[in-house]
Chain A
């Protein structure tokens, strides 16, 4: 059974940092790209970042480029999101998700339960 368990969220002041983790099990972690997504009542669901299985390719949405860094440790089956220079608009429920590819489709087939990140003074 695929399981994704996020951790690391919390309350942080503007300009601060947080590191989210996502521990994966139930599949061959290194064989799959992974993504971080976030959800807010105002902006809805938003794709934040993605990383290839070998970590050679990383991508970001424009609003977090240069502030967030996605990484993974395939020996620990764990995905990370280092978030720096946090802003109030980064406040959200953050999900990690397993990417899946099946022509002609690309999708997120499993999601974690989410971890809440609140940026406030």
Chain B
């Protein structure tokens, strides 16, 4: 099974900041990497698919990059609604697996 590791596990930032979250796969997953946002008490919401494609309706402040084993999610100009937990997920092979999450908190 493919293991997904995110870093950092938590991140403190201020409104207006730009942050980057990293995700590493235990083997190459080419571009089969997705990013989700989860706000407290809500279901995950798709942000980025295929490593770098922005889901319809998601603001362009979110961007993804990477291929193979190393990926990043960048969020620019943080707003209060962006403080949430972010997960990466590989869809290269079953069982599909998720990172442990990165909790983005307000500084």
Contact = CB atoms under 8 A, between A and B. Distances in A.
A6 B16 CA distance: 37
A100 B34 CA distance: 12
By size class, the interface of chain B is: 20 to 34
Interface of B: 30-32, 34, 36, 42-46, 49-51, 53, 55, 87, 89, 91, 94-101
**Residue among B30, B34, B95 facing the most chain A CB atoms (10 A cut-off):** B95
Classify the interface of chain B: helix, strand, loop or mixed: loop
Contacts, number: 65
A50 B93 CA distance: 13
Nearest to B30: A104
Interface in A94-121: 95, 100, 102, 104-114
Classify the interface of chain A: helix, strand, loop or mixed: strand
A73 interface: no
A104 B32 contact: yes
A111 B95 contact: no
B95 A61 contact: yes
A89 interface: no
B91 A105 contact: yes
